[in-house]
Structure 1
């Protein structure tokens, strides 16, 4: 890898896809600003937490 971001940017979309699959399975929720959001509405940084 010759980029300047340590290669993490190329992993962001696959991680978001995995999070969407886990949301669909009811195992996690995606949050922004501490509130759950729909996966397709999330823009920018997200957090992933287990469903309570």
Structure 2
């Protein structure tokens, strides 16, 4: 990767620190996982028998 692309990816870490950047990525991952879990559970329920 070029230096410019690497620099752009490190903006959060540069501004707030590496620990904050890692926790931010972890929180985003958890939130998206919860969204997927909720959406899958609503789609996975079988229709009621007629």
TM bin (shorter chain): 0.3 to 0.5
Greater strand content: 1
Quick one: higher RCO (CA 8 Å, sep 6+), 1 or 2? 1
Greater helix content: 2
TM-score under structure 1 length normalisation: 0.36
TM-score under structure 2 length normalisation: 0.37
